[in-house]
Amino acid sequence: MGAVPALDPLFVLVVGTYLLVVAAIGYYGYARTASEADFLVADRSVGPIVGGATLAATQMSAGTLVGAFGVHYLFGVGFVWIWTGLWAGWLVSLVLVAPQLRQFGRVTLTDFVAARYADDGAGGDYARAVSALVIVVGYTVFLTAQITAGGLVLQSVLGVPQPLGVGAMALVAVAYTAFGGMRASVLTDLVQAVVMVVGALLAVPVALQVAGGVAGVNAVLGSLRPSLVGQAFSAADLVGFMAASAFYIVAAPDEVTRIYAMRDAATVRTAIGVSLALQAVVAVTVALLGVTMRVLFPALSTPDLAGVVMSQFLLGPVLGGLFVAAVFSAILSTVDSVLIVSAAGLAHDVYAKLVAPDATERTKLRANRAAVLVLGTVPVVLALNRGLFGGLIQFVVILLLSLLGSAFFAPVLLGLHWRRANTPGGVAGMVAGFATAAGWHVGTDVYAVVPATLTRYVGDPVLPGVAVSLVATVTVSLATGDPSRRSLAPFFDVPDDDGVDAAED
Amino acid sequence: MSLSAQLGAFLAVAAGYVAAAFAWGRYRRRDGSNEGRDAEGTDEPSGEGQ
């Protein structure tokens, strides 16, 4: 890639207009946000179409438009199959988790943990704090990837030095989230999903025409390296990536908050279908565009920037501007979702529940906004030391999926469907799953102490993470007492005289 | 496998997922004794998790 090209005024106009629309939505959200419930779940008013768009847009972050684009550029089209693992997770959620959580009807995933694992001597508040901590740590990794992507894009488009770009991206995201809350977030998601789908669809014919059509791209890629049109990843790696996505999405804290924002369980089911359709369009177009860029620009020094380079050199000022705006918007909509959830971990789960249970709505709202500010600054430091997490942005995103999937999959699924799951088991499952996945990552990618014979078959930390979490949840639950009636009643039919009362604390 | 064959296969699988998701939603609407409570927007647990 050469020097930063001169900015076309039309390009600037398109990006500027788009960002102004997003800012206006942010202000609208701010003006309509009066309580913590407004801030966190938009007063449960989201319908199926907007709901589907928000589920899709939350998931399709910089990880897709920057990260997956870069992976397709570098490794070819075969990475596209990771989506099928993710969608398997969505189907599990559709049947076994999302509608059930919506009917439970609280605010965050940690609310579920606190209610279902309430026998900790503090009404579930300790279990809540453990889950909040896991979320805050995991999402800090994720935010680092998103903000790094934002910095890269700013550097590429405007020539802004990366540290400045990273700081600017974090500042915009924090300000937007702190003021707009969930209502702004879901509306931005709708705009972003439309722009992503339309922009990607329009970009495909333009890029393919320049590259000589699908046949031309196929021929060039095949001659460059056959795996670019086949499969560059080992079966173990691919299964690992798919598993990380699947286990994560079943109980993804940012998606759960979106689910709670919808009207009812039927809306949630339709929204998941809408979301999968939107994702399918984006998945195919990003794969096609990524490999087409490899044909047209075979020697990019930063594969993560393949999409941005495409917008600058291939798409023209209007479509190119729209694509860059969609990238910023993707980052913004994901960062705001994640910041809301992380902030809720500190403000809603720790401050409002444990520190100041009598706080007024106004104070709780302020606490949420303050937490957004604090949690938005930590990833900036980490983003400037990206070596901590290593490599391409997409792989940093997958690390987050592994950590949180390992922590929450078993305790949430078993908590909803297995009466015998109890508080010690649920907490043990969260802690053991997270620790195992984190330990596996450090032991393989950082210190290489895990034997190669194991890593050859285990492609991702989520596999040992979920396995250990499942075993921990089940064995610790069976080894300790029955759950109380109080922790079962919100999720199961619990007759007054079935003997479970005896276990009530 | 060529680029178009692989993406075609992927699109077919994707269409299957989308169809399955909508089919499950329709089935639950037709079947669902709980949907009435959903429609009222109450936050009552339905026993669906059993």
- Least CB-CB distance to A417: which of B39, B44, B49? B49
- For residue A63, give the DSSP letter: I
- Cβ atoms A67, A145 nearer than 8 A: yes
Q: Identify the pLDDT of residue A386.
A: 57
A-chain CB neighbours of B3 within 8 Å are 77, 214, 217-218, 221, 229, 288, 291
Dihedral over alpha carbons A194, A282, B10, A224 (to 10 degrees): 150
Number of other residues whose CB lies within 10 A of the CB of residue A288: 23
- What number is the average pLDDT over the span A303-330? 85
Query: Distance, in angstroms, between B8 CA and closest chain A CA?
Result: 9
Of the candidate ranges A271-285, A439-453, A472-486, the one whose mean pLDDT is the lowest: A439-453
* Residue A284 scores a pLDDT above 90: yes
Q: State the SS3 of A332-373.
A: HHHHHHHHHHHHHHHHHHHHHHHHCCCCCHHHHHHHHHHHHH
B46–A265: do the CB atoms touch at under 8 Å? yes
- What number is the average pLDDT over the span B34-45? 40
CA distance A124 to A353: 10
Interface test with B, best of A269, A284, A286, A291 (most B CBs within 10 A): A269
- The structural domains of chain B, with segments of one domain joined by +, span 3-32
pLDDT in tens, B7-39: 999 999 999 999 999 999 999 888 764 443 343
A104–B43: do the CB atoms touch at under 8 Å? yes
A80–B6: do the CB atoms touch at under 8 Å? yes
One-letter amino acid identity for A478?
A: L
Of the candidate ranges A61-70, A208-217, A296-305, A490-499, the one whose mean pLDDT is the lowest: A490-499
Number of other residues whose CB lies within 10 A of the CB of residue A431: 18
Angle (CA) A104 A412 B41, round 5°: 15
- Which residues are CB-contacts of A414 (< 8 A; sequence separation ≥ 6)? A421, A425, A426, A429, A470, A473, A474, A477
Domains contained in chain A, CATH given? 9-404 (1.20.1730.10)
Say whether A262 sits in a helix, a strand or coil.
strand
Query: Distance, in angstroms, between B6 CA and closest chain A CA?
Result: 8
User: Is 0.90 topped by the overall pTM?
Assistant: no
Shortest CA distance to A334 belongs to which of A458, A176, A493?
A176
* Residue A195 scores a pLDDT above 90: no
Say whether A499 sits in a helix, a strand or coil.
coil
Q: Identify the pLDDT of residue B45.
A: 38
Q: Identify the pLDDT of residue A500.
A: 45
